[in-house]
Amino acid sequence: MTNEPQPPTRSEDSAQPPMQPPPPPSAPATDPQAFSEEHAHKTCPACAEWMPNEAFVCRMCRYDLRREAFADARPRTNGLAVASLIMGLVALMIFPLIPLSALGGLLALVMGGVARRQIKKSEGAMSGVEMARFGLWLGLVAVLVALGLTIAAYVLDVEVIDVDLST
């Protein structure tokens, strides 16, 4: 006979033990001192400096975790606010061209509204709410002027476009 291991034989008297459930996950440390030392700090994503869990601004680099920007950085001006202001001014300057003035005024209205919403949503990271508001007002005035000129031309029966098509 050889010393090779033999496969186990199935017999009714050698029954397998029932499967046991897995052990529960290890509980956190019960020592409050160890727990507080382990979780009392977090790292700054900008400079990797340790900072207390209660802090929102890193004391080394002034990174604000709530806004995900540096606290000392100036807020950037919203581009749509600038575009709204410019479009409102252009729409008022070209008021004799009624369709273009009305289109420019509508664009100023839309861009000013979107800019105000973006600035409000940015929680201080963007500026230019005054430009957006002024662009909204200029766009509204341009639309009203274009509408007023259109109504006046219709009521007074003035030909706005005089095109001679006979050739």
Are both 112 and 51 inside the same structural domain?
no
pLDDT of 116 above 60: yes
> What is the rounded CA–CA span in Å between residue 109 and residue 144?
12
Mean pLDDT of the chain: 80
Are both 63 and 80 inside the same structural domain?
no
For residue 12, is it within any domain? no
Select from 70, 88, 120 the last residue of a domain: 70
pLDDT tier for residue 34 given thresholds of 50, 70 and 90:
low
Are both 45 and 96 inside the same structural domain?
no
CA nearest neighbour of 29 among 21, 38, 20: 38
pLDDT of 25 above 80: no
pLDDT of residue 59: 78
Global pTM reads 0.53
Are both 54 and 87 inside the same structural domain?
no
Could you tell me if 61 and 70 are in contact, meaning their C-beta atoms sit under 8 angstroms apart? yes
Can you give the residue range of the structural domain that contains 103?
76-155
For residue 88, is it within any domain? yes
pLDDT of residue 78: 92
Are both 80 and 54 inside the same structural domain?
no
pLDDT tier for residue 26 given thresholds of 50, 70 and 90:
low
CA nearest neighbour of 112 among 89, 144, 93: 89
pLDDT of 161 above 70: no
Q: What are phi and psi of 4, to 5 degrees?
A: -75, 145
Could you tell me if 142 and 108 are in contact, meaning their C-beta atoms sit under 8 angstroms apart? yes
For residue 124, is it within any domain? yes
Q: What are phi and psi of 119, to 5 degrees?
A: -65, -40
pLDDT of residue 140: 95
Buried-state track 81-117, b at ≥16 Cβ within 10 A, e below 16: bbbbbbbbbbbbebbeebeebbbbbbbbbebbbbbbe
pLDDT tens digits along 46-92: 888 888 888 888 877 878 888 777 766 677 899 999 999 999 999 99
Are both 112 and 142 inside the same structural domain?
yes
The count of domains in the chain is 2
